[in-house]
Amino acid sequence: MSITFDSSTPEGAEDYLQILAPDGTRHPCPELDHWVEEIDIPALENLYIDMACIRRLDTEGTALQRQGELGLWAPLLGQEAAQIGSGRALEHDDFIFPSYREHGVAYCRGIDPHDLLRMWRGAAPSGWNPYEVNMANQQIVIGAQTLHAAGYAMGLKFDGSAAAAITYFGDGATSQGDVSEAMVFAASYQAPVVFFCQNNHWAISEPVTRQTAGYIADRAKGFGLATWRVDGNDVVAVLAATRAALAHVRTGSGPAFIEAVTYRMGAHTTADDPTRYRDALELEEWAAKDPLDRVAAHLDTLGADLAALRERAKQATDDMAAGLREAITTMPDPEVDDLFAHVYSHPHPWLEEQRENYANYLAGFAENVQASK
Amino acid sequence: MKTLTFSQALNTSLRDSMEHDAKVVLMGEDIGKLGGVFRITDGLQKDFGEHRVIDTPLAESGIVGAAIGLAFRGYRPVVEIQFDGFVYPAFDQIVSQLAKMHFRSRGNVKLPVTIRIPFGGGIGSPEHHSESPEAYFAHTAGLRVVSPSNPQDAYTMLQQAIADDDPVIFLEPKRRYHVRGEVDTDLVPEPGSLYRAKVAREGADLTLIAYGPLVKTALDAADAAADEGIDIEVIDLRSIEPVDFATLSTSVRKTGRVVITHEAGKFAGIGAELAASLTERCFDHLDHAPVRVTGFDIPYPPAKLENHHLPDLDRILDGVDRAMRRNAPLLGEDG
C-alpha cells in the first residue's frame, strides 16, 4: 500500500473566519464583529491606503533588486491584509519579533525607508534599532524568533507589564522544533505572546501540505493556545482576530495563535523561480481573493468615493516609491571598520589585533598609491 | 575567607549575583526544588522564588531562545545546561542567535546571557555526560568562553561572567565540583581579569597550558617533573575565548617550550589554535614544536575506558619529555 499526499489546499471558505468576502460583501461574523465595530469608511480607506503602500513598497523592492540596488528582496505580495490587519492592531508598547518578510509590519511601525532597505542592500546586518520601534530585526533562521518572543513575554509577565509580544512566521516554520518549543514555553508560563502564522501556502517550493496533514491552527490548540483561523486576505477579519488575540493574552489567559490563511503571490525571494513548482491556475484562483480589491469593492457598496480614494492611494504610493529611491541613492556604503564593530560589546584583544592589522594593510596600499603619484 | 567546595563556590556566586542585581534570573532543567542535578542551585528557588529560579520545560533550544527573549527585555539570564552533551539541541540559538544578535543589531541589543555547562569527563557516566564542546563555541564570533579550575575562580569568574554584557559560555569542570579551597567572597576582581590567564606555578624550562579540569593534573605533573629536575611553568588559561596571548607569549618566550593539554580531541581543538598562534608569535624563541596532550579523536568512550582517553599525569609527562627531547617518547611525535 502506498502513501499518497493530498496536494489540494485543505481549507475551504467555511473553515476560517471571514468578514469581507472576496467580492466585497460583508458577512456577519459573531466571533469577530465586535472587535471592529468602530471601523467606518475612513478607517477602511486608511487600511486600503496602508495596503496599497506596502504593495508599492514590495514592487519597488523587487524592482530595486532587479536594478542591482538590492542584493535580495523577499516579496510580501498577496500578504498585505495579513500584515496590515495585524500590524494596525498592535499598541506602541507591544514588541514584535518578525521573520524576514514583514516589511508591511515594519511600515506600520513607521520604520523609515533607509532602515527598511539597508539590510537587503547589504549595507548593514540589519536596519533599525529594535528599541526605538519595539520591533526586533529580521530573523532569517526559520522560526528562531518565536522563542525570543516567548522569552520576552515571560519578561513582560514577570514585570507586570500590560504590553504583549507578537511573533510572525510562516507555514514552513511550523515544522521547526523551535516553534513547538516556543509554544510549550509560552503555554507553560502563560506568557502574553501572540503567535501569528501567515500560512502563505508555500515554503519556497514546498506546499503547506508537506508541513502538515491538518490545519496549522489545530496544532496550536494541542499546545493549549487560544486559536483563531482567519481569512488572511481579509484585512478587517485579521484586524479583528489580532485584537481578540491581544486582548486574550493581555488578560493573563495565556498565549494565543492566529493562522492567517493567505497566499504568497510572488517568489520566495528575488532569487527564486516559482514557475518551476507551482501552477499558474493556483495564482489565478488567489488573485481573485485579492486583499485590496475586496476592500475597494466593499467601500463601493458603502458609497465611498472610490475615485478620490484611488487618487489618494496614488499619491501615497508615489511618495513611498520616491522615498525608497531617495533612500537608496543617498545610502552611504559601510565603512571597512564596520567589519569589526559590535561583534562584542566591549573590546576583544584578538579582534582588535585583526582590525588594526587590516587597517595597516589597507593603509599600505594607500601609501603605495600615494608614492606612485 | 571561607573554605568552600567548587560547587558551593558556584552556588554562593549565583546567590550573590542575584542579590546584587534583581535582573539576574536562573533558568534550567531541575534547578528549582531539586537544586540542579549537581545541586549548584540548591536552595536558591526557595529564597528567590519561582520567577528568578525558573524550572524550564525539557527543551534546550527553548531554554536558550527564551533566555534571549528575556535578555531582550532587560533580564540577565543564567542558563544551566544539565550536561555538556545536551547543549547541542541549543546550538542554533547559541551560535546563530545569542552570538550574533549584538552584531546583527549594530550594537543596539545586548544579550548578557551566561550559559553554564558542567563539562568534561572522569565521572564514570554513560555517553553524552562527559564531553568537552569548548572548541565549537570558541570558534563562534560573538561568544566568550571561560572555564574556572578552582573554587576561588569558580566564585569570582561566574560573577564576572554574569556581569558581562556579552554572552559567556561558562564551562564547569564537573569532576572538580567536590574540590575544596579557600574562597574570598570579598575579593574585588580587577576589571577585565575574567579574560586573563594566570600563572598557576612559575617555572623556567617549559610552559604547560591547561584549563578547567586539567589544571590540577598539570600542577601535579609539574610537581612530579620537578623531582626529575624539570622546572615547569603551569598556566591556567581561564579564558578560552578570548585567549590571553600576552601572558602565554611572555611565558613561552621565557621557557622556549610549550605543552598544551585538554580533554577534548586534538584535531581542530583549542590546543591546535594555541600551538599555531604561539608558533606565529614566538617562533624565534621556540626550542621545540608545541606539543599537544589531548583526548583522542573519538566519541567519548565507555566509562571503563575513559582513563585511557583522558590525559593524565603520565601522559602529560610524556608530552613534557617530547618537548624537552628527553628519553624515548612513549606515544611518538604524533602521539
ipTM: 0.95
- Per residue in A101-119, pLDDT (tens digit) is 999 999 999 999 899 999 9
Q: Strand locations in chain B, DSSP E?
A: 2-5, 24-28, 53-55, 76-80, 114-119, 144-146, 168-173, 180-183, 198-201, 206-210, 232-236, 239-241, 258-265, 291-295
Q: Which of residues 87-126 of B touch A (CB under 8 A)?
A: 89, 92-93, 96-97, 102-110
Contacts A95 to B, Cβ<8 Å:
72-73
C-alpha cell at B125: 557516566
pLDDT grade for A6, boundaries at 50, 70 and 90:
very low
What angle is formed at CA A72 by the lines to CA A67 and CA A75, rounded to 5 degrees? 95
Beta strand B144-146 pairing with B168-173: parallel
Q: Which of A97, A124, A184 sits opposite B59 (nearest CB)?
A: A184
Please state, in angstroms and rounded to a whole number, the distance separating the CA atoms of residues B157 and A130: 31
- Nearest CA to A349 out of B167, B249, B139, B242 is that of B242
- What local confidence, expressed as pLDDT, does residue A9 receive? 41
Q: How far is CA A34 from CA A131, A297, B237, in A?
A: 32, 22, 64
Place of cell 503547506: A208
Instruction: Report chain A's mean pLDDT, rounded to a whole number.
Output: 94
Buried b (16+ CB within 10 A) or exposed e, A234-268: bbbbbbbbbbbbbebbbeeebbbbbbbbbbbbbbb
pLDDT, one tens digit for every residue, chain B (335 residues): 999 999 999 999 999 999 999 999 999 999 999 999 999 999 999 999 999 999 999 999 999 999 999 999 999 999 999 999 999 999 999 999 999 999 999 999 999 999 999 999 999 999 999 999 999 999 999 999 999 999 999 999 999 999 999 999 999 999 999 999 999 999 999 999 999 999 999 999 999 999 999 999 999 999 999 999 999 999 999 999 999 999 999 999 999 999 999 999 999 999 999 999 999 999 999 999 999 999 999 999 999 999 999 999 999 999 999 999 986 655 555 54
pLDDT, tens only, A56-68: 999 999 999 999 9
pTM summary value: 0.95
Cell (9 digits) for B285: 624563541
- Nearest by CB to B104, from A125, A344, A351: name it: A125
What is the C-alpha to C-alpha distance for residues B229 and B90, in angstroms, rounded to an integer? 48
Three-state DSSP string of chain A: CCCCCCCCCCCCHHHCECCECCCCCECCCCCCHHHHCCCCHHHHHHHHHHHHHHHHHHHHHHHHHHCCCCCCCCCCCCCHHHHHHHHCCCCCCCEEECCCCCHHHHHHCCCCHHHHHHHHHCCCCCCCCHHHHCECCCCCCCCHHHHHHHHHHHHHHHHCCCCCEEEEEECHHHHCHHHHHHHHHHHHCCCCEEEEEEECCEECCEEHHHCCCCCHHHHHHHCCCEEEEEECCCHHHHHHHHHHHHHHHHCCCCCEEEEEECCCCCCCCCCCCHHHCCCHHHHHHHHCCCHHHHHHHHHHHCCCCHHHHHHHHHHHHHHHHHHHHHHHHHCCCCCHHHHCCCCCCCCCHHHHHHHHHHHHHHHHHHHHHHHHC
Residue A1 in this model has a pLDDT that exceeds 80: no
Q: Which residues of B touch A131 (CB under 8 A)?
A: 108-109
CA–CA separation, B260 and A84 (whole Å): 59
Burial A10-47, CB ≥16 within 10 A → b, else e: ebeeeebbbbbbbebebeebeebbebbeebeeeebbeb
Give B305's DSSP letter: G
Give A5's pLDDT tier (boundaries 50, 70, 90): very low
Residue of B29, B54, B72 for testing the chain A interface, max A β-carbons within 10 Å: B72
Q: Return the pLDDT at A14.
A: 54
Name which of B65, B109, B244 is nearest A147 (Cβ-Cβ). B65
Alpha-carbon gap: B166 to the closest alpha carbon of chain A (Å): 6
Decide if pLDDT at A13 tops 50. no
Answer whether A141 sits within 8 Å of B97, measured CB to CB: yes
First to last CA, chain B: 43
CB B66 within 8 A of CB A154: yes
Cα–Cα dist B310/B306, whole Å: 6
pLDDT value at residue B329: 56
Given a contact cutoff of 8 angstroms between Cβ atoms, the answer to whether B58 and B110 are in contact is no
- State the catalytic residue, choosing from B51, B128, B129, B262: B129
Judged by a CB distance cut-off of 8 A, whether residue A5 touches chain B is no
Closest C-alpha among B205, B198, B203, B201 to residue B288: B205
- Inter-residue contact B318 to B326 (CB < 8 Å): no
| Confidence class for position A3, pLDDT limits 50, 70, 90 | very low
- Whether residue B102 lies in the annotated active site: no
Q: Which residues of A touch B70 (CB under 8 A)?
A: 151-152, 154-155
How far is the CA of B73 from the CAs of A146, A150, B302, B305, in angstroms?
15, 11, 43, 46
d(CA B230, CA A215): 72
Strand partners, A197: A169, A259
pLDDT of amino acid B266: 98
Please tell me which residue, A367 or A112, carries the higher pLDDT value.
A112
**Beta pairing partners, B227:** none
From chain A, pick out residues whose CB is under 8 angstroms from the CB of B240: none
Cβ-contact A146, A179 below 8 angstroms: yes
Query: What is the distance between the alpha carbons of residues B23 and A159, in angstroms, rounded to a whole number?
Result: 10
Output the pLDDT for position B332.
55
- Residue A368: its pLDDT value, please? 76
Residue A164 touches chain B, beta carbons under 8 Å: no
Q: Inter-chain contact A177–B61, Cβ cutoff 8 Å? A: yes
Of B255 and A7, which is predicted with more confidence?
B255
Distance of alpha carbon A277 from alpha carbon A315, whole angstroms: 37
Instruction: State the Cα–Cα distance between residues A124 and A114, nearest whole angstrom.
Output: 11
The partner residues of A170 in beta bridges, in order of sequence, read A198
What are the backbone dihedrals phi and psi of residue A276, each rounded to the nearest 5 degrees, phi first? -75, -20
Task: Give catalytic residues of A, as residue numbers.
Answer: 264, 268, 277
Q: Report the residue from A151, A177, A346 with minimal CB separation from B68.
A: A151
Can you tell me the mean pLDDT for A124-136?
97
The confidence band for A295, taking pLDDT boundaries of 50, 70 and 90, is very high
Angle at A79 between CA A150 and CA A227, to 5 degrees: 40
pLDDT confidence bin for A367, thresholds 50/70/90: confident
pLDDT of residue B182: 97
Q: Is the pLDDT of residue A8 over 60?
A: no
